[in-house]
Amino acid sequence: MMNATQRLVLAVLISLEISLTKSVTLNLILVAGALSILLVRRQSLKRLCLYLAVAIIPVLGSFWSFYLYGSGTAAENLHFGMVMGSRVLVFIFIGAWLTLGMTPYVLLASLRQNLKMSATFTYGILGALNFLPRFRQAFTAIQAAGMMRGEVLRWWQPTLYFKSLVHAIKWSKNLAMAMTSHGFQEGANRSAYRTYPMPVSGWVVMAAMMAGIQVVLFLARY
Amino acid sequence: MALDAKKLTVAYRQSPIIEDLDFTLNPSDLTLLMGPSGSGKSTLLKTLAGLYPQYGGQVSGAVEIAGTDVSTMPAHDRARQIALLFQNPDDQFAMPTVREEFIFALENLELNPAEIDERINKALAKVGLSDFIDRAFVTLSGGELQKVALAEVLALGAKYLLLDEPFAAVDSQSRAELQVLLQQLSQEGYGILVSDHDPAGYFDKIKSFYQVKNTNLYQVNRQEWQQYDYQGQIKVLAEVGDADAAFDMNNLRVQNGDRLVLNQDILKVSRGLITLLTGPNGVGKSSVLKTLAKLHGYEGSLTYRDQEVSAWKKREYYHEIGLVFQNAADQFINITVQEELDQVQKSSHQKRYWSDDRLDQWVTALHLNGLGDRSVYTLSGGQQKKLQLLLMMVMAPTVLFLDEPLAGLDEQSVGVALDLIQSCQKALQLTILVVSHQTRDLVEIVDQHLRYENTTIANQVEVNL
């Protein structure tokens, strides 16, 4: 129905909408909606539990801080605490919906085609994602190099980050050379092996969603 | 039509790496370029491929194909003409899978999807990896990665192929297969220039052979090729008596990715001696050294001082052992040369031995004097290697692993570096294990030789030079 770009646009619109409104009802409806899509699309239970585990501290944290330390009446504070707590939950589940069955490659490629995002940026990000596993190895080697010199480098010490940066700069230069050597030129025209069209149905769904949200906001009392 | 270098000079920070070079690579050429690590092979190939000066170095003179300067060609035109295969196979792919990588490259040439599919299939078939189209790079071996890299540049349509030590991480069987493939490609009309520091398997296939020496290339006459085929030349080391073991291996297995690189029954590494470990490219020497340095996992048993290496606490282990990394910059933890020297002198395990005078003496002997305020990252490759070696010699842990410690050093520096290693080892009774291709230099100071072939290491008194 919606392609990756449209999904991102909708996710951003919903996030903006709930950031500017204070309806617990709307937030809970959105969470329930996202959750049911995740269940219907057979998201693994382990993943869902992970999302909940990630959510629990920020949700309770935002709720308690506004409930206990808010400046309004007890009822107002309870309401605002609920709004903030459920808002965090919406962010997490909208994020989960956005990434459901989507790879960074598809998202970035669609953004590049649909929104004319720069190819250099797109492939730079993809390259950086490929570096992540190597980064962990480099980190261990840097710490070992320190210990061989009688220095224990802790995670808060700048040396560790400086050295990591040296590695990152070297890798990025190598990657840039490899890309150039394979014919990539900044700003040059490229063909598209796959296309990521934005179907009309996607816009219709998006409009319906936003209209629905307005209706809920109009009707909901809490 | 040919690839021509005319009066080509390439320099880093004013010091020339290649000077005033005239060189031609013709279609159907298969040319081997030899020279020690750090002699400028990579720099030359990157310049010929048009990547320098865009990515570094100061270049004068020209590299041309049919009269057009390669460094000014748009990248997508250049890729149809000339391609570079990188030394480290991990460094050359922007995408996670074979298919995505090929699509990325062929989109750069503005090809339509049907043509992209056709080129991918043809190129993968050529290197015999048609089934690999949907494989992720992390699951491929070094040899497979280089074959995919080769297929990628064939798909791009390049006619001149430059390969920069392409077999550094490739096992010997894949190496032989790739060499045959290169010969076939040259017979089909591709112009191929391959750099390597190991001549094994080339001499029945190549058309010409150059040595990199003193910032230029020297063509070696066919009659003299045999001299470079070190296969025959050996030196026999004196037998050493029974020394105590520093390390004991027992049924030790080491994997590199999916490949088993070491399957060692029983072996000891002697204490208080200099031991040289040699073996063909890609056999797994670096993985073994990393395993000994507790930077790589293993199965089976590997003990240091009767305790399993995996059971040693990192801090205590690295108090005892040190690794001189292949890449010198990995060794540095401070910014300036003086800070580095001060740090090791302060933390040295042999403070009494490393007096100010002695340190000054070696700094001067290695021509590192007067560089105190320089950032270690702006030193030349050779200076970095010398400084790195000195730092670890001053630290003087009980055991030192040296990974290619002479790479990129000129003849005079090699002599001083060997002196430094030998005198410290003798005076402080260090245990040293060296991995190096420069066996002809090292054989002068080593006590013992371990030969590593096909997943096993064995004691051997003969050293191939």
Residue for token pair 């400046």: A71
A132 touches chain B (CB under 8 A): no
A69-87 residues labelled b (16+ CB within 10 A) or e (exposed): ebeeeeeebbbbbbbbbbb
List the single residue in A with minimal CA-CA distance to B53: A177
> What does the pLDDT look like over B215-226, one tens digit per residue?
899 999 998 888
CA B123 to chain centre: 28
Phi–psi pair at B274, nearest 5 degrees: -100, 120
Q: Do residues A9 and A93 share a domain?
A: yes
Whether A58 and A143 share a structural domain: no
Do A82 and A169 sit in the same domain of this protein?
no
Residues 102-131 of A with CB under 8 A from B: 105, 123, 126-127, 129-130
Instruction: Please give the average per-residue pLDDT across B286-314, as a whole number.
Output: 94
Is residue A102 domain-shared with residue A160, that is, in the same domain?
no
CATH class assigned to B3-228: alpha beta
* pLDDT digits 0-9 by tens, B183-203: 999 999 999 999 987 788 899
Whether residues A93 and A176 fall in one domain = no
Whole-number CA gyration radius for chain A:
23
Q: Is residue B186 a contact partner of residue B179, using CB atoms and an 8 Å limit?
A: no
Between chains, do A145 and B113 touch, taking CB under 8 Å as contact?
A: no
- The answer, yes or no, to whether residue B279 has pLDDT greater than 70, is yes
Chain B residue nearest residue A142, CA to CA: B330
Q: E strands of B66-139, at which residues? A: 68-69, 82-85
The residue assigned the tokens 């089976």 is B300
- Per-residue pLDDT, B339: 96
Average pLDDT of the segment spanning B141-145: 84
Measure the CA dihedral A123/A125/A130/A135, to 10°: 140
Whole-number average pLDDT of chain B: 91
- The verdict on a CB contact (< 8 Å) between B54 and A163 is no
Residue A210 and residue A172 share a domain: no
If one counts the domains in chain A, the total is 2
Task: Judge contact between A43 and A100, C-beta under 8 A.
Answer: yes
Q: A145, B330: Cβ pair inside 8 Å?
A: yes
Pairwise CB contact (< 8 Å): A105 & B100: yes
pLDDT of residue B227: 78
Smallest CA–CA distance from B107 into chain A, residue: A191
Q: Please give, rounded to a whole number of angstroms, the shortest distance from the CA of A61 to a CA of chain B.
A: 38
Q: What are phi and psi of B60, to 5 degrees?
A: -130, 165
Note the pLDDT of residue B235. Answer: 83
Least confident piece of the model among B43-47, B51-55, B160-164, B239-243: B239-243
Alpha-carbon distance of B155 to B151, in angstroms, equals 6
pLDDT tens digits, one per residue of A79-92: 999 999 999 999 99
- The residue of B47, B103, B256, B330 whose CB has the most chain A CBs within 10 angstroms, and thus the best one to mutate to test that interface, is B330
Q: Which two tokens stand for residue A53?
A: 């585990």
> If you count residue pairs, one on A and one on B, with CB atoms under 8 Å apart, how many are there?
147
Nearest neighbour of A190 by CB, restricted to B79, B92, B108: B108
User: Chain A residues with CB inside 8 Å of B113's CB?
Assistant: 191, 193-194
A127 plus A27 within the same structural domain: no
Q: Where are the domains of chain B?
A: 3-228, 234-464
Q: Do B329 and A166 touch (CB under 8 A)?
A: yes
Least CB–CB distance from A150: residue in B54, B88, B347: B347
What is the distance between the alpha carbons of residues A153 and A158, in angstroms, rounded to a whole number? 9
Task: Indicate yes or no: CB of B110 within 8 angstroms of CB of A190.
Answer: yes
Measured between CA atoms, the residue of chain A closest to residue B344 is A149
Per-residue pLDDT averaged across B141-169, rounded? Answer: 90
**In angstroms, what separates the C-alpha of B132 from chain A's closest C-alpha?**
19
> A133 to chain B: which residues are within 8 Å by CB?
138
C-beta neighbour count of B64 within 10 angstroms: 15
What is the distance between the alpha carbons of residues A8 and A13, in angstroms, rounded to a whole number? 9
Write out chain B residues lying below 8 Å of A174, CB-based: 86, 88, 91-92
B231 confidence band (pLDDT: 50, 70, 90):
low
Edge-to-edge strand list for the sheet holding B321-324:
B321-324, B399-403, B431-435, B274-278, B448-453, B456-459
Asked if the Cβ–Cβ distance from A184 to B108 is below 8 Å, we say yes
B contact residues 192-231, partner A, Cβ 8 Å cutoff: none
Residue A162 lies in a domain: yes
- Does the pLDDT value for residue B37 go beyond 80? no
Residues whose CB is less than 8 angstroms from the CB of residue B122 and which lie 6 or more positions away in sequence, other chains included: B155
pLDDT band at residue B232 using 50, 70 and 90 as cut-offs? low
Domain range for A52 is: 4-106+196-219
Q: Find the CB nearest B111 among A173, A181, A191.
A: A191
pLDDT digits (tens, 9 = 90+) for B362-387: 999 999 999 999 999 888 888 999 99
The nearest alpha carbon in chain B to A167 belongs to B330
- The candidate with the shortest Cα–Cα distance to A205, out of A213, A193, A197, is A213
CB contacts of A154 in chain B (<8 Å) are none
Cα distance between the two ends of chain B = 39
Question: Are A65 and A147 part of one and the same domain?
Answer: no
A93 and A70 share one domain:
yes
| Alpha-carbon distances, residue A116 vs A4, A108, A125, B197 (angstroms) | 14, 11, 15, 46
Does A51 share its domain with A130? Answer: no
Chain-centroid distance of CA B286 in Å reads 10
CATH 3.40.50.300 fits B234-464, yes or no: yes
pLDDT tens track for B204-216: 999 999 999 888 9
What percentage of chain B reaches a pLDDT higher than 70? 99
Instruction: Note whether A144 contacts B84, CB cutoff 8 Å.
Output: no
What 3-state DSSP class applies to B24? strand
A97 shares a domain with A202: yes
**What is the distance, to the nearest Å, from the Cα of residue B231 to the centroid of all Cα atoms in its chain?**
20
Q: What is the dihedral of CA A183, A188, A189, A193, to 10 degrees?
A: 40
Question: Residue B139's pLDDT band (boundaries 50, 70, 90)?
Answer: confident
Which residues in chain B have Cβ-Cβ distances shorter than 8 Å to A147? Answer: 314-315, 318-319
* Confidence at residue B374, expressed as pLDDT on a 0 to 100 scale: 92
Q: Is the ipTM of this complex over 0.85?
A: no
| pLDDT < 50: residue spans in chain A | none
Check residue B226 and give its pLDDT. 80
Query: Tell me, what's the pLDDT at B257?
Result: 76
In a domain, A190, yes or no: no
pLDDT, average across residues B34-62: 89
* Mean pLDDT computed over B221-240: 79
pTM equals 0.81
Residues A78 and A16 in one domain: yes
Are A148 and B80 an interchain contact pair (Cβ–Cβ within 8 Å)?
Answer: no
Residue A112 domain flag: no
Question: How far is Cα A162 from Cα B377, in angstroms, rounded to an integer?
Answer: 12
Answer whether B134 touches A (CB < 8 Å): no
User: Under DSSP, is residue B30 helix (H, G, I), strand (E, B) or coil?
Assistant: strand
In B121-222, DSSP assigns E strands to 160-164, 191-196, 208-213, 216-219
